[in-house]
Structure 1
Amino acid sequence: MPIFSAPDGTRLACHIRGEGEPLVVLPGGPMRASAYLGNLGGLDAHRQLVLLDLRGTGRSEIPADPATYRCDRLVEDLEALRRHLGLERLDVLAHSAGGSLAMLYAARWPDRLGRLALVTATPWALGLPATAEDRLAAARLREPEPWFTDAFPAFEAWLAGAGDFDPVFLPFFYGRWDDAARAHADREEDETNDDAGDLYGADGAYDPDATRTALARVTTPVLVLAGEVDGGPRPSLARHVAEVFPAGEFAVQPGAGHYPWLDDPEWFVRRVAAFFSGFPGRG
């Protein structure tokens, strides 16, 4: 488990899985330890995964200044990792909230970015949050499933601010609500630094107009991968993200939710590995 120092001295950890050319992986949450990513469905058979524990999560230190949890401040940690790895350019895969961190890094240091995959990435950095309507529209796609009747009213109430978070609607975040999904969901609370997550998108974290302008100059290939039944982002929102990048490509994984490597590992690995290998993909 490599340990390196951020510019402010905070000690950060990353976890290495597999061998070969490094692929840096940014977790979501926001501020969930990278353990939930596992080996991304077997992607470590194609690339060496370098899974970063963001400051205050997993094996990384809690910083002296909580303000450094803000997404735009975390960009410095990613650059410190690039220097630690001795790489001229980083290939990056970012999941969910980690997508905004990756986009801010690309906007600031486009010449230090190789290929970028944004996997079910929440595009807060572009001023494009997933709305309650988005999430409910995706949820209605699950109506034939046996848990839907109990889950949908609680989900609707939570999104309207009329109810608390209820584990009964966790199936909406997964394409398949099976034992693997249940075990994955059960770990979330223990793996997430909620206080840090509250500061991730604090005032000043994002400047959508400036970020869009900067990303329009990013010529590196970018894959934006959405899950067919994911509500945050829905495929239509993810497509807008792909259009921001001059060399953006868009793919939808059939039947997948917010964690597509769990829903169909073979499809996910085939599509993502092909992208990072420079082969054209479909979807």
Structure 2
Amino acid sequence: MPHLTAPDGTRLAYHLRGDGDPLVVLPGGPMRASRYLGDLGGLAERRRLVLLDLRGTGDSAAPADPASYRCDRQVEDVEALRVRLGLERMDLLGHSAGGSLATLYAARYPERVSRLALVTVIPRVIGAPATAEDRLAAARLRAGEPWFATAFPALEAWLAGESEPDWDLLGAFFYGRWDDAARAHDAAAEWETNEEAETRFHDPAAFDPSALRGALERLTAPVLVLASALDGGPTPALARRLAAAFPHAECAVQPGAGHYPWLDDPEWFTARIAAFLGAPAGRD
């Protein structure tokens, strides 16, 4: 598989799937290996996906300095990937926590982004985290599900800090359909995620919401913020707040989907992303 060397010497791996114009994809988790993204619901049939394994995940090496797991310190890894690919400008997609990294990259290198898609991204970078009530309100939309009566009290206890998360129960709230495929996808997170890096990624010191908003004003690229109707982090309302931070952004809400919308309705997801990526690369 192809590799590159980050500015601090860390060896990073990326994976190529599909054909066509490249789309650089940053995974979430935070700090989960990119394999959970699969082919993004068939998007690889329309674009060549360049899936980066963030430092210390998947096939990428762990850095000498664990502090470099912090989100803002990985921006230069993304820039090194762009240079390695030989792209003057690139289409960029960030999922979940990967959207925080993608947004920081767009703020630091606005001239290098042709289009930016943010998929189910909590807008921590602008100081708007998902609250417990956001998650509970979204969870209540699932009251008709057979697993709800058991899972909802576990969610309440976790959000109140009264218990450790029981993902065998809580995982259901992150998927539009809690079927065998969703259970397998959820279970894989345990061994695909770097737990040490996960705790460091969203260090509050990585973000300066006021400065970021100012930097994003220089971004001329079109932005798509995609939320899911059943997701509590972010809710559609939070996604609209994130979209408002960009000069040229639109917000879309995928019906019936959870935090991984390409699994719940791949045709809807790929059609919406592909339509956006086919839009003009810049606006006046």
Q: Could you state the TM-score of these two structures normalised by the residue count of structure 1?
A: 0.97
Q: Identify the residue that residue 247 of structure 1 maps to in structure 2.
A: 248
Paired amino acid for 1:58: G
Q: Distance in 2 between matches of 1:241 and 1:108?
A: 17
Cα deviation 1:199-247 (Å, max 9, x = unaligned): 1122421111101111122110000000000000000000011111111
User: Cα distance, 1:134 vs. partner?
Assistant: 0.2
Paired amino acid for 1:44: A
Tell whether the 8 Å contact from 2:122 to 2:238 is kept in structure 1 after alignment. Answer: no
Q: Identify the residue that residue 11 of structure 1 maps to in structure 2.
A: 11
Cα deviation 1:33-81 (Å, max 9, x = unaligned): 0000000000001100000000000000000000110000000000000
User: Aligned with 2:41: secondary structure?
Assistant: coil
Mapped pair 1:24 → 2:24 = yes
User: Aligned with 1:250: secondary structure?
Assistant: strand
Q: Identify the residue that residue 93 of structure 2 maps to in structure 1.
A: 93
Q: Distance in 1 between matches of 2:244 and 2:217?
A: 9
Tell whether the 8 Å contact from 2:54 to 2:60 is kept in structure 1 after alignment. Answer: yes
Q: Distance in 1 between matches of 2:72 and 2:154?
A: 34
Q: Identify the residue that residue 228 of structure 1 maps to in structure 2.
A: 229
Q: Identify the residue that residue 157 of structure 1 maps to in structure 2.
A: 157
Q: Identify the residue that residue 50 of structure 2 maps to in structure 1.
A: 50
Q: Distance in 2 between matches of 1:203 and 1:27?
A: 20
Which structure 1 segments of 5+ residues have no match? none
Q: Distance in 1 between matches of 2:176 and 2:218?
A: 35
Q: Distance in 1 between matches of 2:278 and 2:157?
A: 44
Q: Identify the residue that residue 274 of structure 1 maps to in structure 2.
A: 275
Which structure 2 segments of 5+ residues have no match? none
Paired amino acid for 2:270: V
Cα deviation 1:150-204 (Å, max 9, x = unaligned): 0000000000001111121210000111111011001000000010011112242
Paired amino acid for 2:176: G
Q: Distance in 2 between matches of 1:217 and 1:243?
A: 14
Q: Distance in 2 between matches of 1:232 and 1:213?
A: 25
Aligned pair count?
279
* Segments ≥4 residues shifted beyond 6 Å: none
User: Cα distance, 1:90 vs. partner?
Assistant: 1.4
Give aligned-pair identity as a percent. Answer: 68
Q: Distance in 1 between matches of 2:8 and 2:218?
A: 29
Q: Matches of residues 1-283 of structure 1 in structure 2 within 5 Å?
A: 1-166=1-166, 167-278=168-279
Q: Distance in 2 between matches of 1:193 and 1:91?
A: 26
Q: Could you state the TM-score of these two structures normalised by the residue count of structure 2?
A: 0.97
